Copies of this chain bind each other. A is one copy, B any other.
Amino acid sequence: MGSTWGNNLKISIFGESHGEGIGAVLDGLPPGVPIDLTRIQQELNRRSAKGNPLATPRKEEDQIEILSGVFNGKTTGAPLTGLIRNENTRSGDYSKTKDLMRPGHADFSGNIRFQGFQDYRGGGHFSARLTAPLVFAGAVAKEVLRVIKPALIISSRIVSIGGISDVSLPQWQDYDDLSNNFKNPAFPLYTPDLEISMKDEIIAAMNDHDSVGGIIEGFVIGLDPGIGNPFFESIESRLASILFSIPGVKGITFGAGFGLTNKRGSQVNDPMIINNGRVETLTNNNGGINGGISNGMPVVFQVAMKPTPSIGKQQQTINLAAMENASLEIVGRHDPCIVVRAFPVVEAATALCLVDFLI
């Protein structure tokens, strides 16, 4: 329970960090959608640590195998299943720390929830490695959107790392800028070109055997007005329900988010105009959503990611088996900043959510 999502498109993710493999089943895809495996693998590579000097030394190929649902290069409409075999596992790293609960991790809460039977190696099913099936599923969703909404743009960007913001970024209110930046390719594959100060922050954390958090902004440009629902099936509700499933996410805001709370209505009610026969708003404080439903402006949201809890520094914790206090230095291979790998996951979750609304 908990690894299945969706109303019209049912997504089921499975696997553990150090088990046989990880994967996803997508049930409810429209038939006849061309599946470009190169593009899908490219999305997985964006998430992968391979070739990323700011990421964990555990480098996985994350090679996807399609087990079902594709015939003659197109979706059949039957469940589409992708499998990634785990390869570069060093389970020995984890057995020693089996009873030492890593602070900030799901070790303790997961142990209680699953009565000690969970696969503790590398976080098991809780591992951020499970975002690979999410990215795979999202990449398939992007293939669907390419067909049913070719003008739609889903993208993301890293807004800040460890409190250091990218000053060169246009502000989210300037959706014209955003639109201009993303006019051409249907799904521009954003590659973070972090400012030197942001990179330095990550490297400093790495050298300190520590980690840093950051903020990712997701956006959808070109979504027709009228998508979504009031209340429980609002865009915000649905998008939050899938975004909060990404390990490390602790906050989600839409539009101006918490900035709205210290403003007057007259300052942030987005004034409306007719522009070339199209209804638009002059500002986008509501992030493209009113009453849970898209208003035609860019859907913009920010995702707060905490620092990776796995750090090399000595930490105060407990030995759950012995029920005694303990100290812990994690010696496995970990990411100093999950933010640099999580932005494709944010996009994937967004793509899945949109397909679920649109099919």
Contact = CB atoms under 8 A, between A and B. Distances in A.
Interface of A: 1-5, 7-10, 12-16, 19-23, 25, 27-28, 31-32, 65-69, 71, 74-81, 83, 101-110, 112-119, 124-126, 130, 160, 162-164, 205, 208, 210-215, 224-234, 236-238, 240-242, 244-245, 247, 249-258, 260-274, 277, 279, 281-282, 285-287, 289-295, 304-311, 313, 315-318, 320, 323-325
**Which residue, of A2, A225, A268, A304, has the highest number of chain B Cβ atoms within 10 A?**
A2
Contacts of A8: 1
**Which residue, of A65, A118, A247, A289, has the highest number of chain B Cβ atoms within 10 A?**
A118
A242 to B, nearest CB: 7
Contacts of A323: 274, 277
B260 A307 contact: yes
- Closest 3 pairs between A and B when the two form their complex, measured CB to CB: A106-B291, A163-B262, A2-B229
B290 A106 contact: yes
Given A118-B76, A124-B76, A264-B205, A272 B316 contact: yes
Nearest to A291: B106
Contacts of A77: 113-115, 117-118
Nearest to A111: B226
Given A245-B237, A249-B236, A306-B260, A81 B279 contact: no
A224 B9 CA distance: 23
Given A21-B68, A225-B108, A264-B162, A15 B316 contact: no
B4 A232 contact: yes
B252 A240 contact: yes
B67 A104 contact: no
A256 B25 CA distance: 34
25 contacts: A2-B28, A3-B232, A4-B4, A13-B79, A68-B125, A71-B118, A74-B117, A75-B117, A76-B119, A104-B270, A104-B285, A106-B230, A205-B265, A210-B265, A213-B260, A232-B245, A236-B249, A250-B260, A250-B287, A251-B251, A253-B258, A260-B306, A265-B308, A265-B311, A271-B317
A25 B281 CA distance: 35
Nearest to A7: B7
Contact of A12 (B10, B67, B75, B116): B10
Contacts of A281: 103
A174 to B, nearest CB: 19
Nearest to A270: B103
B290 A109 contact: yes
Contacts of A71: 16, 19, 117-119, 124
A311 to B, nearest CB: 4
A15 B307 contact: no
A237 B243 CA distance: 8
Nearest to A120: B71
A318 to B, nearest CB: 5
B304 A260 contact: yes
Nearest to A319: B274
A42 B319 CA distance: 41
Contact of A4 (B12, B125, B163): B12
A245 to B, nearest CB: 4
